[in-house]
Amino acid sequence: MDELDGRDGLPEALRVLVETLPRSGWEAHPNFDGLTRFWLDRHLMFRDVLGRLRSGAEARLDGKIDPMRHARETQRYAGFLLNELHGHHSIEDHHYFPVLQGLDARVARGFDLLDADHVALDGHMHRLAEVTNAYLAEFEAAAGAGRLREALAGFERFLDRHLTDEEDLVVPVILTYAPDLR
């Protein structure tokens, strides 16, 4: 099953490059460049901000953070995350993926899969924004914080799946073909 919501990794046929170029050897590869580093760092940053949002919601539910402060932080981090993710997906869809997709016919289909992930993530981002806004409108009530935590946990699962599979597909293509993505 290729859909983001039901996947537990890249489909076997699309793992042909990552099988020979496992993650542990990426950074030492001669074609690992600054842009690849930057791109992987963006993924790390998304994971980090999402982790902050989740631990914030947990602290809020445990009464370990002032509700007003939590609302301010949630607004800032969620706004930042959704905005940056939107820009990141758009650069991938319009700039990186069209170049990368033409390099190796064996994994070309993987870029359609990632594109479909972005569409699915758009829906998840929209729902996360709704739940966040509902919480912020009544941040003193704990019920909204519970819903926020649930929404964040679900979103984290989908985003992490997408980022990991995307890295497993994209980085081996870059290392193998060293395309000029600038």
Task: For the segment 57-96, give every residue that binds Fe ion (CB under 5 A).
Answer: 92
Helices 108-137 and 142-177, axial angle in degrees (round to 10)? 160
Could you tell me the smallest distance in angstroms from the CB atom of residue 114 to Fe ion?
A: 6
| C-alpha–C-alpha distance, residues 50 and 61, integer Å | 17
Number of residues engaging Fe ion in binding (CB under 5 A): 2
Q: Which is nearer to Fe ion, 58 or 93 (CB)?
A: 93
| CB of 58 vs Fe ion, minimal distance in Å | 26
Which 91-110 positions form the footprint of Fe ion (CB under 5 A)?
Answer: 92
**Closer CB to Fe ion, residue 42 or residue 147?**
42
Which residue number, 45 or 61, has a Cβ lying nearer to Fe ion? 45
Paired tokens of 110: 């993987």
Q: How far is the CB of 112 from Fe ion (least distance, A)?
A: 13
From residue 107 to residue 126, the character string flagging contacts with Fe ion as x (rule: CB under 5 A) and all else as - is --------------------
CA pair distance 126, 132, nearest whole angstrom:
10
Closest CB to Fe ion among residues 92, 168: 92
Nearest approach in angstroms of CB 40 to Fe ion is 9
Binding to Fe ion in span 132-171, by CB under 5 A? 166
What gap in Å lies between CA 78 and CA 48, rounded to an integer?
12
Helices 67-91 and 34-61 sit at what angle, rounded to 10 degrees?
A: 150
Nearer to Fe ion, 40 or 136 (CB): 40
Distance CA 82, CA 5 (A): 19
Q: How far is the CB of 147 from Fe ion (least distance, A)?
A: 26
- Residue 95 CA to residue 97 CA, distance in Å, equals 6
- 166 or 168, CB closer to Fe ion? 166
Residue 19 C-beta: closest distance to Fe ion, Å: 21
Which stretches of the chain bind Fe ion, using CB under 5 A? 92, 166
